[in-house]
Structure 1
């Protein structure tokens, strides 16, 4: 079992979905957790209670990753409370589907790119400045970057840039023993546009038919790989974007 005792992990977008499961998983391995959310304080508080029930400390920070000043403030607050940050999981993002490129509005473009690209970039920048030597930076991406599908041009393109940043940042931080990796899952049940069980039935069927294992991914699947990247077993693995697809090519 991964031992993260005496580690501090900051997980963006961790009030629900993939981020919440990752926060709970790292907490269950002994890490103190910084829970970040943008608006949903009730869900953030609920996640904090679940984390504290595991016997570790939790700090909730409301911050919009699309605002650089709020990203900086989030890291500073984490340092003030815990004294260090050892693990950063760059998870916060917005997902859209069923929107042809011709129908994408400037408003929607700005919203997705401000969170998925700008937010990820400046969170990774602050992580680079803040994370302890031999720490971990983990980006949660999407296989939509490798599988062109009608209706997801905006979302897929917005997830592409941070996957490139993973490789660059691994080169820049390697001398400090910091690893930088990406977890790149297929469509995940219980997250994003698939948060509600009955939504997007045709997309669910499409995913299941595309995956050799015959099912969608789960938040636990993503947490499994994130746990690996957060622990000692991955200490010589860096600059990788690992697909979590159940055998699908993308």
Structure 2
């Protein structure tokens, strides 16, 4: 039986002051990794995650950066390396959602904001990861099930999350010779995270998504952390350029 350990590893997870990123950061720490907790605005949230990680006996540091800005992404990685000396695992998770916005209604400003953060931000995060991750390291992109099953009202969001999936395919080929794996995990809508952080938010969309899922629920942050654990571990050492969907069999 395999026992997963990330002891001695250093992981950087963008957008890890809450939600999916927080769950992944805390899971990695529970497996022995030291963690760079990235945040854009919520210092209090990031500090709380750091406190949890240090309580698990691991080292952690919170670093602020706006990942829609390339200079900030470069600084994030520079500060991470200054603190820990290396990066073994990088998870490009930071992003934003735009839902219930039909194609005929989204604005140029909305398009620019979503694509700048989700597509450009992920591209340059993955670029920095490729430059700095150790040989035999792990690079993980957190996509969205909207990249597989188009959902009305999510044209801009789904499009912005689809673009970096192509980069995953290319990057897996470009740096695979170093033993580095590059994969994406593709979660369904997640309860208690993102637009569904408020259980009362978007009730019609919530019902539609749950109705499309044979398991009758949204995903959980633990569901996503499970995939992130697999991709970070030795169990996925020969899994490269793949996109793993976790949506309970949902059809949207």
TM-score by length of 2: 0.97
Aligned to 2:175: 173
Q: 1:26 aligns with which of 25, 28, 43?
A: 28
Unpaired stretches in structure 1, ≥5 consecutive residues: none
Q: Which residue of 2 aligns with 1:145?
A: 147
What is the match of residue 128 of structure 1?
A: 130
Once the two structures are TM-superposed, the CA of residue 57 in structure 1 deviates from its matched residue by 0.3
- Deviation readout 1:38-62 (Å, 9 max, x if unpaired): 0111111111111111110001000
Tell me what 1:214 maps to.
Answer: 216
Secondary structure of residue in 2 paired with 1:86: strand
Q: From 75, 83, 86, give the equivalent of 1:84.
A: 86
> In the alignment, is residue 188 of structure 1 matched against residue 190 of structure 2?
yes
Distance in 1 separating the partners of 2:209 and 2:32:
34
Displacement of 1:249? 4.3
C-alpha distance in 1 between matches for 2:126 and 2:192: 25
| Aligned twin of 2:109 | 107
2:43 corresponds to 1:41: yes
Take 1:18 and 1:190, find their aligned partners in 2: how far apart are those partners?
9
Query: 1:248 Cα deviation (Å)?
Result: 2.3
Give the distance between the partners of 1:249 and 1:166, measured in 2 at CA. Answer: 24
SS at match of 1:103: coil
CA RMSD of aligned residues (A): 0.8
Task: Return the offset for 1:150.
Answer: 1.5
| Length-normalised TM-score, structure 1 | 0.98
Deviation at 1:70, TM superposition (A): 0.6
Q: 1:75 aligned to 2:77?
A: yes
**Counterpart-to-counterpart distance in 2, 1:15 and 1:115:** 16
| Distance in 1 separating the partners of 2:150 and 2:70 | 30
Q: Tell me by how many angstroms 1:220 deviates.
A: 0.4
Give the distance between the partners of 2:112 and 2:52, measured in 1 at CA: 34
Q: In structure 1, what is the equivalent of residue 5 of structure 2? A: 3
CA-to-aligned-CA distance 1:159-204 (integer Å, 9 cap, x gap): 0111111111100010000000000011111111011111111111
Structure 1 segments, 4+ long, off by >4 Å, are none
Number of residues of Structure 1 aligned to a counterpart in Structure 2: 250
